[in-house]
Chains A and B, each alone.
Chain A
Amino acid sequence: AQSVTQPDIHITVSEGASLELRCNYSYGATPYLFWYVQSPGQGLQLLLKYFSGDTLVQGIKGFEAEFKRSQSSFNLRKPSVHWSDAAEYFCASGYFGNEKLTFGTGTRLTIIP
């Protein structure tokens, strides 16, 4: 069975600092990987996705993520965070032919001035 692990429950970062959120997946073949963001009281919005090809993917709001097969990881990065990035972030995985996704438990990001 697939699993997705987000080891950091809560991260606090200063505004303007860099950010990396960790995600590890467990699946034999190459999965499809996603990062979603959820602002308070809102549904989830897709930040970026990886299906195949270039292992560094660019998303919206200045985010990027890198797929590393050897580490089974898909970490999310941003070079300089803004106060508006405070939210909860979810990593998810799926695989071809299966419409269901497996979600991690989420990482809550707090931004301090």
Chain B
Amino acid sequence: DVKVTQSSRYLVKRTGEKVFLECVQDMDHENMFWYRQDPGLGLRLIYFSYDVKMKEKGDIPEGYSVSREKKERFSLILESASTNQTSMYLCATTAGPYNEQFFGPGTRLTVL
């Protein structure tokens, strides 16, 4: 079974802090994704990476950056956290050419 783990289930940060969310997958998948999930808005793609050091902006990249130095690890970075970034963050990875995505358990981030 594919396993996708996220570094924290719950995180509380202060406005202006730099925040790192980490995602690790154990199945050697090429593609990894970061989404944020908000009530009534569903899942919105922040960034996706299709290879080591390769990335592509999603629908809402503003205020976020990403890093993929190793194939199994994809980090989401909030350079200066703001209260409007309080949300659930989900990482996913693609199994193959048919786009089925496997999700981690999510990180609920609160920015005070």
Interface residues of A, Cβ cutoff 8 Å to B = 6, 9, 32, 34, 36, 41-46, 49, 51, 90, 94, 96, 98-101, 103-106
User: Is the CB of B31 closer than 8 A to any CB of chain A?
Assistant: yes
Across chains A and B, the number of contacting residue pairs, with CB separation under 8 Å, is: 55
Majority secondary structure, B binding face: strand
- Say whether B40 contacts A105, CB under 8 Å: yes
- Say whether B99 contacts A42, CB under 8 Å: no
- Say whether A43 contacts B103, CB under 8 Å: yes
- Say whether B42 contacts A105, CB under 8 Å: yes
Majority secondary structure, A binding face: strand
Given contacts A42-B105, A43-B106, contact A99 B99 (CB under 8 A): yes
Nearest CB in chain B: distance from A5 CB, A? 10
Nearest CB in chain B: distance from A102 CB, A? 9
A100 contacts which chain B residues (CB < 8 A)?
33, 45, 48, 58, 99
A45 contacts which chain B residues (CB < 8 A)?
103
B98 contacts which chain A residues (CB < 8 A)?
32, 49, 51
User: Is the CB of B15 closer than 8 A to any CB of chain A?
Assistant: no
Mark each residue of chain B from 101 to 112: 1 if its CB lies under 8 Å from any CB of chain A, else 0.
Answer: 111111000000
CA of A14 to CA of B105 in the docked complex: distance in angstroms? 28
A98 contacts which chain B residues (CB < 8 A)?
99
